[in-house]
Amino acid sequence: MANTILVGAQWGDEGKGKIIDVLTERADVVVRYAGGNNAGHTVYLGKKKYVLHLIPSGILRRNKLCVIGNGVVIDPLGLVSEITGLQKMGIKVGRNFVVSETAHVVFPYHRELDAQREVLKGKNKIGTTKRGIGPAYGDKVARVGLRMGDLIDPARLEARLSLRIKESNSVLKALGGQPVSFKQVLADYNKAGKFLKPFVENTVVLLHKAMRRGEDILFEGAQGTFLDIDHGTYPFVTSSNTTAGGACTGSGVPPHRMDRVVGVLKAYTTRVGEGPLPTENQEISDLLHGMGREFGATTGRARRCGWFDSVATRHATMVNGIDDLAVTNLDGLDTVATIKVCVAYRHGKKRYDYMPNDAAVLAACEPVYAEFEGWLTPTHKAKTWKQLPPKARAYLKAIAELTGAKLFIASVGPARDQTIFV
Ligand code: GDP
Ligand code: IMO
Ligand code: MG
């Protein structure tokens, strides 16, 4: 399979967890390289549902090494409960799991700052997951953050945390937030550090050793292209590079060792949180929510839904260098008589074939739609390309062509065996 980067080609929640689980069969190592526990990746094994937030989705397969790379921000208390939760469900998390010693740590003051900044923004809020992601990456870039290597060294943790809490509490007080207790945080984080210490390693060296042994690495993207701090709909984005370039910086594996990029996209569009979503549509939102679908895996919020947006996925193909497409949730459109696809945006007299950079311009764009006849047949039992209704095949071919990459997988349900290799 070689080294493969898997990215979300829309606004997150494209079904990356499911596709990672399918592709992991042919990989040796799975690496998370960006984001934190703002992510929620869903995998079904039979009827059992697993939602992974920090641990790579590859953990559900035996004999795969799972790595949290340096580009991730880690809430240690969240990670401990994710590990023990999986272990209680009978999943092995031991020597098959490694955490980078240079990944940054999320503290309670990051979560509190995240919440206070949202309150201050009022109606302009981002709609974050309130997991402290933005403030934790902020500290990393400002060179004042603590890393996993600091967490597992009690003396260093105490000294550095004491300084950070002083500054953070004064900011929190000024914003009207709740200061955090140094004593409590130190006790909780020392306990988590002790638990996590056996997992913490130099993951850059570890990954290069794996490559020297000829092992194949799968890079598990979190979030999606338009939540990327540089390439997304700023400021309605997350705080990391979620796009393919992030896989290199967030793991220490250089660009020339990357062989392939797989883009995951839904057969329609969803977004959770605030910010522009040009093809948003009430009818399709009601339809999907009525089916009990499209509620957030991390926060439970109802996702906003809309028609497939090929301007966005074309742009994602360009920015990530997507070779292959995995289209998920095709079955969500089984009952729609006329399916719309956005082929371009119009803004006054200007036509856009790629995403405009300015979120205000994007919010004012009108989608230009093409229409496709729906197949009006259940697809969830299809196992092969030929078993899909001809109109569903035509739809998939059209969205792949508009997106500008090769159709690789069509997914017709959450389970492993509801995956068609095209
Ligand atoms: P991720 O964050 O990209 O991993 O995606 P999420 O897990 O947050 O959300 C995707 C949702 O779609 C999950 O509930 C998956 O179980 C589900 N899913 C993925 N592929 C399919 C599919 O082809 N059909 C259906 N019905 N559900 C799917
Ligand atoms: P996965 O990996 C969908 C969104 C939040 C908010 C914005 C910023 O499951 O696809 P943050 O807490 O990161 O500061 O929030 O980004 N967001 C996601 N939306 N899927 C995700 O992850 C997301 N992670 C963050 O809703 O709009
Ligand atoms: Mg998700």
Catalytic residue, from 41, 104, 231, 315: name it.
Answer: 41
Q: CA neighbours within 13 Å on the CB side: how many for 326?
A: 25
**CATH code, residues 104-196:** 1.10.300.10
User: May I ask the CATH architecture of the domain 265-421?
Assistant: Alpha-Beta Complex (3.90)
The pLDDT value recorded for residue 379 is 98
Catalytic residue, from 13, 139, 228, 324: name it.
Answer: 13
Distance from C-alpha of 106 to C-alpha of 148, rounded to nearest angstrom = 10
For the Cβ of 402 lying below 6 angstroms from any atom of ligand 2, the answer is: no
Catalytic residue list contains 41: yes
The phi, psi pair for 13, rounded to 5°, reads 60, 30
Q: Which ligand is nearest to the CA of 19?
A: 1
Contacts of 206 (CB under 8 A, 6+ apart): 67, 98
Residue ranges with CB less than 5 Å from ion ligand 3:
13, 40, 297
SS3 417: coil
> Residue 198 corresponds to which tokens in the numbers above?
């056996």
Catalytic residue list contains 139: no
Distance from C-alpha of 22 to C-alpha of 26, rounded to nearest angstrom = 8
Model confidence over 317-357: pLDDT tens digits? 999 999 999 999 999 999 999 999 999 999 999 999 999 99
Pocket test residue of 10, 238, 240 for ligand 2, highest count of atoms within 8 A of CB: 238
SS3 377: coil
For 45-57, letters b (16+ CB in 10 Å) and e give: eeeeebebbbbbb
Compute, in angstroms, the gap from residue 13 CA to the centroid of ligand 1: 7
Compute, in angstroms, the gap from residue 16 CA to the centroid of ligand 1: 7
For the Cβ of 110 lying below 6 angstroms from any atom of ligand 2, the answer is: no
For residue 227, which atom of ligand 2 is closest to its CA?
16
Rounded to the nearest 10 degrees, the angle between the axes of helix 182-196 and helix 76-88 is 50
The pLDDT value recorded for residue 1 is 59
Residues of the chain with pLDDT under 50: none
Residue nearest to atom 10 of ligand 1 (CA): 15
SS3 85: helix
Determine contact, residues 51/15, Cβ cutoff 8 Å.
no
Pocket test residue of 16, 117, 128 for ligand 2, highest count of atoms within 8 A of CB: 128
Q: What is the pTM of this model?
A: 0.97
The pLDDT value recorded for residue 410 is 98
Distance between terminal CA atoms of the chain?
Answer: 16
For the Cβ of 221 lying below 6 angstroms from any atom of ligand 1, the answer is: no
Top-tier CATH class for 4-100+199-261? alpha beta
Q: Which ligand is nearest to the CA of 295?
A: 1
For the Cβ of 223 lying below 6 angstroms from any atom of ligand 2, the answer is: yes
Parallel/antiparallel/unpaired status of strands 48-52 and 41-45: antiparallel
Nearest to 225 by CA among 240, 250, 247, 242: 242
Pocket test residue of 19, 33, 38 for ligand 2, highest count of atoms within 8 A of CB: 38
Distance from C-alpha of 51 to C-alpha of 144, rounded to nearest angstrom = 31
The string of DSSP letters for 301-361 reads: PBPEEE-EEHHHHHHHHHHHT--EEEEE-GGGGTT-SEEEEEEEEEETTEEESS--S-HHH
Compute, in angstroms, the gap from residue 298 CA to the centroid of ligand 3: 7
Residue nearest to atom 2 of ligand 1 (CA): 13
Strand pairing partners for 132?
none
Q: How far is CA 270 from CA 8, 140, 296, 316, in A?
A: 12, 30, 10, 15
For residue 129, which atom of ligand 2 is closest to its CA?
12
Compute, in angstroms, the gap from residue 210 CA to the centroid of ligand 2: 31
Domain segments of the chain as ranges: 4-100+199-261, 104-196, 265-421
